[in-house]
Structure 1
Amino acid sequence: MVRAKVPPTVRQRRLGAELRRLREHADLSVTRAGELFGVPQSRISNIEAGSYAVSADRVRALARLYECSDDVLIQALAAMTGGRTRGWWDEYRALLPTEMVEVAEYEHEATELKVAVLVAMPGLLQCPEHVRAAYNQNVPALRPFEIEHCTAFRIRRQGVLHRESPLPYTAIIHEAALRMGIGGADVVRTQLRHLMDMGEHEHITIQVIPFGQADFPAAGGQPITYACGPVPQLDTVLLDTDHGCRAHHAEDDLVRYREVLDHMRRCALDPAESRNFIHKIAKDL
């Protein structure tokens, strides 16, 4: 029996993409890079696709070949090497869309997460009642077992906020998301109380943009997740779209969304004011 090929991880693909970026910056073709490195062209292509495991020493050697002088970046790239380690999210690959599954891997690999939402509650801050109610309202409708798979997966993703070394997490939430009414008043109250409880953790910052604050960049309205890497060059922007989550790590995209998030944060209430704001909405329901 032929064993199915294991797809490259998010980390392996990103390492390959960064090595390709260094090669292109050095103005070397794949063929020429292979000649200089003493390997077939296909080996360079497979490394850049993330489908060929490469050692830390080889990453450093490739960086020297590409005349990269950023030692901090080179060390960060070398630390991304190693064999493919299965994560808990791999259990869901046959059950859920790839883009959905890989969000958990991006979150796991991040050193910090910054999220901004306008009409949807941040996934890592949703209580179980809200998660299930949201999937019950999905269009097209999900079958009961699909709702359970999706709900279990989202709740499990939240483990990055509760592990021994929890992930620093900032959520900028527009008032519209707090008032969407998903699941009815009881679920909304439970969700808002959950937000207030989560905001009590030192590693979690929640800020609210109230209605009437016109000077904020909507950025197209899609939820933004900014996943920080070990160095800024290895950051990733995840954008939720109607066609799934899309990852962006071009330098221009990173600069743009850093500015967008910084602007949104300045437009938001501070954490204490935000907690009081959320409490008032919950009390008025």
Structure 2
Amino acid sequence: MPSGYLDLAELEQRADYVKTFEGVHIPGLLQTEDQIRAIFAASVPKLSEGELEVRVRFRLRRQEILGGVPYEAVIHEAALRIRAADSKVARGQVLQILERSEHPQVTVRVVPFAVDGFAGIGDPLTYAGGPVPQLDTVLMDTPHGGAFLDAEAQLARYREVFSKVEEAALEVIESRQFIERVVRSA
């Protein structure tokens, strides 16, 4: 496993809470096995079958934190509609998001295409918080891999960014209804 994957898993395990925003992809902690497999199968350069299996199993194993750590995912409508594979995988993926959102420690909210004023907030990010805010960590996904940020100025910036993302998102019940409509159209 690349070291960044291991760092992310440790960050999630040790956090008091995790918040994530995804604009184009379903958050890894909510992905179905079929979705994970399709995403890694599309990797460039192509992964060997062994590498693909290790990454699929690793991501599925990371999902075990969902029972113990409060988790909030804000997902843009684009991520709900982009098909990593076919319509069957897409439908199963959206259904799993609905199922996971029923867990008391999991909050899922959606930013619809129709929301006004959402320019410039397209980068995926994960915010892992702990008992001391100065020790929080942000993971920014970049085209060249993840970047872990922990300087106070960076944390303050991404707290504000996440606050804007939350302001743009539908409330929890509205988000569930929105996701149910996406299921019906998939």
TM over 0.5: yes
| Distance in structure 2 (CA, Å) of the matches to 1:247 and 1:186 | 35
| Distance in structure 1 (CA, Å) of the matches to 2:167 and 2:74 | 10
1:196-219: CA deviations, max 9, x gaps?
000101111100000021312534
Q: Aligned letter for 1:231?
A: V
| Distance in structure 1 (CA, Å) of the matches to 2:33 and 2:127 | 24
User: Structure 2 unaligned runs (5+)?
Assistant: none
| Distance in structure 2 (CA, Å) of the matches to 1:150 and 1:159 | 15
Q: Which entry has the higher C-alpha Rg, 1 or 2? A: 1
SS at match of 2:18: strand
Count of residue pairs the alignment pairs up: 186
| Distance in structure 2 (CA, Å) of the matches to 1:223 and 1:98 | 19
> Which structure carries more relative contact order (alpha carbon 8 Å, separation 6+)?
2
Aligned partners of 1:119 and 1:177 also within 8 Å: yes
Higher strand share: 2
SS at match of 1:281: helix
Match of 1:158 in 2: 63
Q: Which stretches of structure 1, 4 residues or more, deviate above 4 A after TM superposition?
A: none
Match of 1:272 in 2: 173
Over the aligned positions, Cα root-mean-square deviation in angstroms equals 1.0
Task: State percent identity of aligned pairs.
Answer: 42
Aligned partners of 1:112 and 1:168 also within 8 Å: yes
2:35 matches 1:133: no
| Distance in structure 2 (CA, Å) of the matches to 1:170 and 1:202 | 11
| Distance in structure 2 (CA, Å) of the matches to 1:113 and 1:236 | 10
TM-score by length of 1: 0.64
2:99 matches 1:197: yes
Q: Aligned letter for 2:11?
A: Y
SS at match of 1:212: coil
SS at match of 1:261: helix
2:80 matches 1:178: yes
Q: Aligned letter for 1:200?
A: E
1:134 Cα shift? 0.9
1:170-229: CA deviations, max 9, x gaps?
00000000011111100000000000000101111100000021312534x331000002
TM-score by length of 2: 0.97
| Distance in structure 2 (CA, Å) of the matches to 1:135 and 1:283 | 27
Q: Aligned letter for 1:284?
A: S
Once the two structures are superposed, the pairs formed by residues 242-257 of structure 1 within 5 Å of their partners are: 242-257=143-158
| Distance in structure 1 (CA, Å) of the matches to 2:123 and 2:60 | 21
Q: Aligned letter for 1:186?
A: K
1:229-272: CA deviations, max 9, x gaps?
22111111111112211111111111110011111101111111
